Amino acid sequence: VLMSLHEMFPAVNAAEMAVQRNPRSWDAWQTLGRAQLGLGEIALAIRSFQVSLHIFPMNPEVWKEDLSWARKLHEQQKATKSEAVQAVAKGNELAQGSIPDYDFESDEIVAVCAAIAEKEKALSAAKTVVIVSASGTVETVTEKEDCPTTPDETLFIRAR
Q: What is the pTM of this model?
A: 0.52
- State residue 65's pLDDT score: 86
- State residue 35's pLDDT score: 93
Residue 132: enclosing H or E segment and its boundaries?
strand 126-133
- State residue 124's pLDDT score: 66
pLDDT tens, per residue, the chain with 160 residues? 888 888 889 999 999 999 999 999 999 999 999 999 989 899 999 999 899 988 988 888 888 888 888 989 889 988 888 888 787 777 766 666 555 555 666 777 777 777 887 877 766 666 666 677 767 777 777 665 555 555 555 555 555 4
- State residue 14's pLDDT score: 93
- Compute the distance between CA of residue 70 and CA of residue 41 in angstroms, rounded to an integer: 10
- Compute the distance between CA of residue 99 and CA of residue 2 in angstroms, rounded to an integer: 54
Domains detected in the chain: 1-95 (1.25.40.10)
Taking each helix axis as running N to C, give the angle between helix 68-98 and helix 42-55, from 0 to 180 degrees, rounded to the nearest 10.
160
Cβ neighbourhood burial of 106 (10 Å; 0-12, 13-18, 19+): exposed
- Compute the distance between CA of residue 50 and CA of residue 66 in angstroms, rounded to an integer: 10
Task: Give Cα separations from 29 to 2, 9, 129 (angstroms).
Answer: 16, 16, 78
- State residue 36's pLDDT score: 92
